[in-house]
Amino acid sequence: MQPKHFFSGSQLKWIAIIAMFLDHTAKIISFRPYITETVPYLIESNQLFELSQVFFPLFTLIGRLAFPIFCFLLVEGFVHTKNVKKYLLRLSLFALISEVPYDLAFSHRVVDLESQNVFFTLVIGLMVIMGVKKFTFSSIQNGLFSLVFISGGLFLAEWFKTDYGGWIGILLIVILYIFRSSSLLKCVLGGGVFLQNSWFGLFAFVPIYFYNGQRGKQWKYFFYWFYPVHLIVLFVIQQWLITPYLI
């Protein structure tokens, strides 16, 4: 019996966006470093800190839902796009645009080569599945070429230190692409890959499993711009509203 499919692509994007926003809120708007370095006794008395200890771990947990959904939507975008080169160019552009906001938000540096934003992971993943599509596993020779693309993507993501790296990020994208015709298999195998990161992330594969194949209402550039803009906003809140209050 076929499952009922009732999540559109737009609805999946909103789930991922909200989960990501909660996760980044918890990670960027952090109270402990400022409290412990400035006024240690406030750890026990500061209400903001106490609330953060209740909600922020939950926000971070919910945040594990975002990345598998983004990977799934990347594969769907690749399969259905009319111009994959423009798709790749758009992702690459926003990877560059988002890097400074990402570095400011997470390391408080304008440039930090120790970690690259998630758009870079998606860009590398897209290039890998473009190669896999070109050299399908229909023959031994093509299969070897596909493995070269996959191995190269894993290495590049790990070497470049992209968010989620190669063994989680790129491998998950490859799994979701290769097994895209089987809703159950791609979710089971994808969940197995994401277990390296979080058990709660397995719940992301529930709405993926019930995806209805419809794009839904499109907010294309909103979703692209949301990533760098929300990082800047959270960074500003942390630096100009939270820190002065604690100090």
Amino acid at 160: F
pLDDT in tens, the chain (247 residues): 455 678 999 999 999 999 999 999 999 987 654 444 444 444 444 666 666 677 889 999 999 999 999 999 999 999 999 999 999 999 999 999 999 999 999 998 999 999 999 999 999 999 999 999 987 766 777 778 889 989 999 999 999 999 999 999 999 999 999 999 999 999 999 999 999 999 999 999 999 999 998 988 877 789 999 999 999 999 999 888 776 665 5
What are the structure tokens assigned to 121, written together?
Answer: 């992971």
Question: Where are the chain's structural domains?
Answer: 65-233
pLDDT of residue 104: 95
Type and span of the H or E element at 52: helix 47-63
Contacts of 189 (CB under 8 A, 6+ apart): 175, 179
Paired with 7 in beta bridges are 211
This prediction has a pTM of 0.89
pLDDT of residue 177: 97
Q: CA 76 from chain center: how many Å?
A: 15
**Helix, strand or coil for residue 211?**
strand
Please give the Cα distance from 14 to 17 (Å, whole number). Answer: 5
